[in-house]
Structure 1
Amino acid sequence: MKGKPLPIKIFEKRDVDERAVEAGGDKKPPKWVLKGKELKERAMTLKKDLDDSQPIIESRMKKHKIPAIVKACVIDDALAKTHRNDIAQLLSGRGPDYTIGIIGENELLIRIDKPGQLKEVSDNISDLEKNAKAISGVKKIDVFNPNISIGKIVANNEGKFVLKVILVDFNDKRINETNLQYFKRWITNRQGISLDKSVRYSSKLEVHQVVVDSLDKIEDLTDFSGILSVEEMPRMEGIEDDFFPGTWIEVPNPEENVEYPIIESV
């Protein structure tokens, strides 16, 4: 309307505006991209990480017949989705995008379907000119081990420990089913560890209740590479006093010589 003041909107630039936005047209590399000697040193570090991971990856894939997983620690400046896509291409070798998720604040999980995939990743890292940004965005590459968060776990009435186990989601239905089958078979062949029950909460989340005879057996779970996390199964306990408090509630009686309103139903 004519003469009516319009609202004022103020736009401020972020203090640190290094992260690329979607469909950005600026082709200039971010300031954090390494050059020269520093870039070569970072590439050498990552290639050594791959070499150290190779025998562990091959052993796990041979033992469990499922993909192995490596994790890449990404620097804070490279966490934007646009930068993560470049890092995913770097770490997926010559195949499609093998990233399957992020844990913590900055660790990217990559699925390794075949031992030769690590060689493909190493070749990508050797191409400093093409992959300078992706190489600069990764601090370290390591084999992923299940995240065990137990704390001060307490045994149940039978002296055993009840755990909440979640398997890795490989973003592939067939591989997930194979992983579940091998997990059940693996537990069946272990002494002191048993699968009590499995509960599916959604298409992406199934929780497995695992019972172990002793705390030493918890470490055995790290031997199965298809496990994402292990923690104490939450428990709810109730006692009689919680439901029947000792306080007595008195029912009020009408006072004499007091007229009370009467409510009649219609």
Structure 2
Amino acid sequence: MATEADFLFPVWDRPATVRAAISLRTGGFSTAPFASFNLGDHVGDRPERVARNRAQLQEVLALPNAPCWLHQVHGTRIVKVPEAPAHGWSPPEADGAVSTCPGVVLGILSADCLPVLACSRDGQCIGAFHAGWRGLLAGVLEQGIAAMGIAAKEILVYLGPSIGPRRYEVGAELRAAFLAQDPRTEPFFAAVTAESDAQPGKTPNGDRFWADLPGLARYRLMALGVASVEASGLCTAEDATRFFSYRRDGQTGRMASLIWKEVGA
């Protein structure tokens, strides 16, 4: 059974009326390879176990409503949630959501991609965005910040656990795509130079790089004018005890990153 010990509670410069939590992989009902607190209903886990895990999520965190999950597709669509769904929620195809309604719980599922939580300085608007490399490159954060409808300087952002800059090995073509958009992103790619550093079965030959996903996200957010960006500094691929990691394990579960406004705020 999950307890508060099976969650991270992000600390960043946010108003007290905005709440946030990130689930760990521990404390749930799923079995290998989804052990145990898998919240993803699209990864091959038994639906009844996912349902039990999601019920636990809502109970332990005392959520005002069930999370508004998304059908994430590594795109840039952002949906606005005007009110807490009264009769259930059918996940739309999107990679971000924003809301100004108290009691609406926004949720992002991840297992290496970067979950991004955001709120306005006055606590009136919240956002949650799913940022893998495809979404970052396509502009999901730019779309998300714009959808919040307020000045970027008034937005406070938290970057959750994701694959870290010494575990995310990518090819030269991905690096080139980012540099083609903005040559100033070059420092976020470090060449893989040692045989011991390369992924199994890969040999360093000048075309493999470590990508700093949180660093790229921070850079793009600050380029928009977001002045406050805090990061967890936690790598999902390095910590198999606490985090699911698709890059590490292949078939695996998903953690949830949630943000909501307290009812009455």
Which structure is richer in relative contact order (CA contacts within 8 A, separation 6 or more)? 2
Same-fold call, TM > 0.5? no
State the TM-score, normalized to the length of structure 2: 0.22
State the TM-score, normalized to the length of structure 1: 0.22
Structure showing greater Rg: 1
